Chains A and B, each alone.
Chain A
C-alpha cells in the first residue's frame, strides 16, 4: 500500500531538526552540494551516450 504524503507538522519537525544540525550552521561550506550534483549529471550524460552508441 502506498504511503500517504507526510503532513505539515511532520515536515516542519524534520526541517527544524535538520536545520539545527552542525553541518547546517550559517556560513558552512556547501560547495560539495553543487559539485556532487554536477558530477552526478555528468555521469548520467555519459551513461546516455554509452546507451546510444551503435553496436558493433
Chain B
C-alpha cells in the first residue's frame, strides 16, 4: 500500500475504475485557474458522485485499496460492503470523507446545496490530469452553488473571486 497518495493518484484511480464523479466546490473552481497563483488552497477535494449505492461502493473500494479510511457524520464509516448501509448513505445524501494517512483528503458527496448530479454531470468540462480524463462542474454552476450555499465562507470566497477576476485583463 503506498505511503503517499496524492490527489492526482486518487483521481486517476477513480477515473480508471469508472467511478462516475464530477469535481465540485473550490477544488473544481481551481481547475479554471490560469496558474497556481490564481488557485485557492483548500484542505480537501470535493467530488460529487452519481447518487447510487453502486457508485459509492466502487469509489470506496478503489480508495480503500489505496489506503484511505472513511468517515461519515464524524464517525468511522466501516460498512463499505454493506448494501443496507450504502443504500442508507445514498438516501441520506451523505458525504463520506476519505482520508489517507499522508493527509490527502477527499469528500465523496452524494448531494450538496446547488449541486445536483443530473444538472452538473451532463455539461461537465473534461480535463486531462496526465493519464486520465476528469470531469469538472461548469464554472458557472460551481459559482452558483456557492452563492446558493450562502455561508459566510462561501460569500467571502465569491467576493474574493469577483475582485480577482472582474477585470477582463486579469483572467490569464
Contact = CB atoms under 8 A, between A and B. Distances in A.
Interface of A: 3-6, 8, 10-12, 14-19, 21-24, 26-38, 40-42, 44-45
Nearest to B163: A3
Interface string B132-172: 01100011100110010000000100110111011010011
Nearest to B142: A15
B39 A24 contact: no
A45 B138 contact: no
Interface of B: 6-8, 11, 27, 30-34, 36, 39, 41-43, 45, 103-104, 125-130, 133-134, 138-140, 143-144, 147, 155, 158-159, 161-163, 165-166, 168, 171-172
Contacts of A19: 32, 125, 138-140
24 contacts: A3-B159, A3-B163, A4-B159, A5-B147, A5-B158, A6-B166, A8-B147, A10-B162, A10-B166, A11-B144, A14-B143, A21-B34, A21-B171, A22-B172, A31-B128, A33-B33, A33-B39, A34-B6, A35-B7, A35-B8, A37-B39, A41-B103, A44-B41, A45-B103
Contacts of A41: 41, 43, 103
A22 B30 CA distance: 15
B36 A36 contact: yes
Contact of A33 (B30, B168, B171): B30
B127 A29 contact: yes
B130 A31 contact: yes
A30 B6 CA distance: 14
B159 A28 contact: no
Contact of B41 (A14, A26, A35, A37): A37
Contacts of A23: 34, 172
B139 to A, nearest CB: 4
